[in-house]
Amino acid sequence: MADSSSSAGGTGGVSATDHGGGLWSVPVPIPGNPLGKTLVYVLESERGPVLIDAGWEHPEAWKALKEGLGGIGVGVEDVYGVVVTHMHPDHAGLAGRIRERSGAWVAMHRADADLIQKMRDDLANPSGENLGDWLARAGASPEEQAALRRNDGRPDPPARPDRLLEDGDLIDLPGRALRTIWTPGHSPGHICLHLEDRNLLFTGDHVLPEITPHVGLYPYDRPDVDPLGGYIASLQRTAELGIEDAMPAHQYSFSGIPRRAKEIIEHHEERLTEIRDLLTDEPQTLWTIATRCVWSYAWEKMQPISHHLAIGETAAHLRTLENRGHARRTGGLPLSYTR
């Protein structure tokens, strides 16, 4: 699919890629982030263009989005609606600003809208827990806890949506057919969007061609959920849709969604086995287990915020192992596990 696309317009540094049939992508930078860019998709409809995702709330990203849209003759004020695949800042960040300029609706899954509300409630209630408290429960040293008490690094919550989506809902895209496929895991309300008139899938962060999205459990001992188990089930469901062509939110468009979804499941099954093999009859803290996992960067060289994410990921795998009967949490604090 990437082979048949061509660059269109753009007088500045950013130009949209034309995927044919009234579909373009605009690469919007994520300043200071190794992910590089969010691909914002533009879909033509009878009522005006609808965007899938919006990009990070940052002046450089805003400029790039406007440039890319301008190159295909679209002004921000023309936008009819913004569908957000999930509430992360590289996707939902600019949605509020686009709405201000255009009066566009903003739609996302109910579960991510709930998460935004919770972030706003937490901000309004400064007596709530911070990441330092979470690290303390995981068994981190006082120095590690202190680093995240000073600056817990969480971005501001994005704008609230006007429209809530549920699995199976058709998006308001007059003259076309774009359907919501709920794929919880990377976030509780992550959605993919099936463009039925082209039989392609906007996969957000759920299925990316070369990288796997972060799946974590927050707080690390949240009792009622299994995000990784949910993610694996969502990947299985995505593979079974039988749609081949992917329009992901990062990297590049590709063909072979079922194959890629199975590869990602395999990756997590290997990770589950790795963590299961670390468990013994002696309780180990969540912190200790995370430090013993293999990471792409040396543990000692990671920033405190990366430690937090690595612990969240480890906790998610431990939760899935608990549900499968392969790990047991011992009582009390810090959070500790045995086999």
Of the candidate residues 18, 44, 90, 144, the single one contacting Zn ion (CB under 5 A) = 90
Q: Which of residues 5 and 212 has its CB atom nearest to Zn ion in the complex?
A: 212
Binding track, positions 276-295, relative to Zn ion; x by CB under 5 A: --------------------
CB of 103 to Zn ion, least distance (A): 26
Is 57 a binding residue for Zn ion by CB under 5 A? The answer is no
* Phi, psi for residue 208 in degrees, rounded to 5: -120, 150
- Can you tell me the distance from the alpha carbon of 241 to that of 102, in angstroms, rounded to the nearest whole number? 34
Tell me the angle at which helices 142-150 and 131-138 cross, rounded to the nearest 10 degrees.
160
Non-local (6+) Cβ contacts of 174 within 8 A are 45, 46, 47
Beta bridge mates, 25: 17, 41
Of the candidate residues 19, 58, 66, 88, the single one contacting Zn ion (CB under 5 A) = 88
Q: Which of residues 90 and 144 has its CB atom nearest to Zn ion in the complex?
A: 90
Site for Zn ion in 189-208 (CB under 5 A): 205
Q: Which of residues 57 and 205 has its CB atom nearest to Zn ion in the complex?
A: 205
Q: Which of residues 212 and 288 has its CB atom nearest to Zn ion in the complex?
A: 212
- Can you tell me the distance from the alpha carbon of 253 to that of 202, in angstroms, rounded to the nearest whole number? 9
Give how many residues touch Zn ion by CB under 5 A: 3
- Can you tell me the distance from the alpha carbon of 309 to that of 314, in angstroms, rounded to the nearest whole number? 9
CB of 249 to Zn ion, least distance (A): 5
Q: Nearest to Zn ion by Cβ — which residue?
A: 88
Is 14:27 a contact under the CB 8 Å cutoff?
yes
Q: Which of residues 70 and 230 has its CB atom nearest to Zn ion in the complex?
A: 230
Q: Which of residues 144 and 205 has its CB atom nearest to Zn ion in the complex?
A: 205
CB of 211 to Zn ion, least distance (A): 10
Characterize the bridge pairing of strands 6-8 and 200-204: unpaired
* Phi, psi for residue 103 in degrees, rounded to 5: 75, 10
CB of 90 to Zn ion, least distance (A): 4
Q: How many CA atoms lie within 13 A of 205 on its CB side?
A: 26
CB of 206 to Zn ion, least distance (A): 9
Our CA angle for 158, 90, 287, nearest 5°, is 90
Report DSSP state, residue 94. T
CB of 110 to Zn ion, least distance (A): 17
- Can you tell me the distance from the alpha carbon of 65 to that of 139, in angstroms, rounded to the nearest whole number? 43
- In the three-class reduction of DSSP (H, G, I as helix; E, B as strand; rest coil), residue 25 is classed as strand
Q: Which of residues 26 and 335 has its CB atom nearest to Zn ion in the complex?
A: 26
Q: Diameter of the chain by CA atoms?
A: 64
CB of 309 to Zn ion, least distance (A): 12
- Can you tell me the distance from the alpha carbon of 229 to that of 320, in angstroms, rounded to the nearest whole number? 6
Is 145:136 a contact under the CB 8 Å cutoff?
yes
CB of 223 to Zn ion, least distance (A): 24
Q: Which of residues 136 and 207 has its CB atom nearest to Zn ion in the complex?
A: 207
Binding site for Zn ion (CB under 5 A): 88, 90, 205
